[in-house]
Structure 1
Amino acid sequence: MVAHHEDITRVREERWLKHYYFIRTAFSAIWVALAFSIGQHSPVGAAVLLVVYPAWDALANYVDMSRSGGMAENRTQATNVLISVLTAVAVIMAWTVNMNGVLGVFGVWAILAGLLQLGTAVRRWKRFGAQWAMILSGGQSALAGAFFIVQAHAPMPPAIAKVAGYAAVGAVYFLVSALLLSVGQLRRKVA
């Protein structure tokens, strides 16, 4: 009876995780499209998009953390929520100085958020498997953050273009993770 209850809970959590990854994919795809259209031609639009991106990450991590056992069981996500909120505020402050500062802020955030995402994915691997794309995404995010920091000190195209490329790659990783979970669910149904 206990094993059956645990199986039902696991299936429900896995279903949520799959939906969560699809939602993250859709948001990122829309954000990237807006960044390459509105963000490229409107400084105000770019500023809004650059604040929305980490704010969305904070909200998404908060909702996922809440649906996945709360703060006590998801310390990496709780920390990610705080860092993403602080990043949204820091982007606003950096925007008033220059775009290089904005890219530097995104660099620090990408490193920290990537490492925290990697930690979350490793923890989830034990329960759900199919987390290799999230592990790669976290590691690649940290590397991209280091490049952002280096690029923040050089003449460059608008930060929105660099961040949009980063977000597009992230969307692919979320999509791959959602599809892997979907395939796993289909295999279990067939078996």
Structure 2
Amino acid sequence: MSSLIDYRARTDRSERRVTMFNGVLSTLIAVPLGLAGASGVPAVLHVLGAWAIISGIAQTAVGLRRRSAELGKQWPMLLAGGLSVLAGTYWNFLALADQPKLNVLVFYTAVGGIFFIIQSVLLARRTRQAQPQTA
């Protein structure tokens, strides 16, 4: 949903393409993830690992393009994108272990949610500060 809102808010075509790519990728991952779920934990970790790497690269690219001061320099988005790439890489290695577990996903989702909230708060504050005050 956030990708759709972000897509609608953007006017720059190249930024819209990256945002659309990330949104479509995140939506389409449901099919291979469902198939992987029937195959076991290693397959799920590989699919989620690939998704995390690709979407993390896209998120980092968007963050780098939006580094202006009025958009809060995008530090939470950049950190989340970079950590997503690292997490995806780790999950792919973890899938090769003797007894891989899905509990490693909890930390990723919690940290990702925190970064998302921080970025939203920063952008909302910047938007309020940029609006002219009326009495």
TM-score range with shorter-chain normalisation? 0.7 to 0.9
Q: What does residue 171 of structure 1 align with?
A: 113
Higher relative contact order (CA 8 A, sep 6+): 1
1:156 aligns with 2:93: no
* RMSD of aligned alpha carbons: 2.4
Q: CA deviation at 1:77?
A: 1.2
TM-score (structure 1 length as normaliser): 0.60
What amino acid is the match of 1:133? P
Contact between 1:65 and 1:71, CA under 8 Å: does it hold in 2?
no
TM-score (structure 2 length as normaliser): 0.82
Contact between 1:74 and 1:120, CA under 8 Å: does it hold in 2?
no
Superposed CA deviations along residues 6-44 of structure 1, whole A, max 9, x for unmatched, are xxxxxxxxxxxxxxxxxxxxxxxxxxxxxxxxxxxxxxx
- Give percent identity, aligned residues only: 30
Change (3 A) 1:86 1:71: farther
Superposed CA deviations along residues 131-152 of structure 1, whole A, max 9, x for unmatched, are 1111111011101110011111
| d(CA) in 1 for partners of 2:71, 2:5 | 21
| Residue-pair matches, total | 131
Unaligned stretches of 5+ residues in structure 2: none
| d(CA) in 1 for partners of 2:22, 2:79 | 17
Structure richer in helix, relative to its length:
1
Q: Does 59-68 or 110-119 show the bigger shift? A: 59-68
Q: CA deviation at 1:71?
A: 5.8
- Of residues 1, 24, 33 in structure 2, which corresponds to 1:91? 33
- Of residues 70, 82, 87 in structure 2, which corresponds to 1:128? 70
Q: CA deviation at 1:66?
A: 2.4
Q: What does residue 181 of structure 1 align with?
A: 123
| d(CA) in 1 for partners of 2:13, 2:38 | 34
Contact between 1:114 and 1:142, CA under 8 Å: does it hold in 2?
yes
Q: What does residue 68 of structure 1 align with?
A: 10
Change (3 A) 1:70 1:85: farther
| d(CA) in 2 for partners of 1:181, 1:90 | 34
Change (3 A) 1:94 1:64: same
Change (3 A) 1:166 1:122: same
Q: What does 1:1-191 correspond to in 2, within 5 Å?
A: 59-69=1-11, 73-126=15-68, 128-130=70-72, 131-154=74-97, 155-157=99-101, 159=102, 161-185=103-127, 187-188=129-130
What amino acid is the match of 2:81? G
What amino acid is the match of 1:137? A
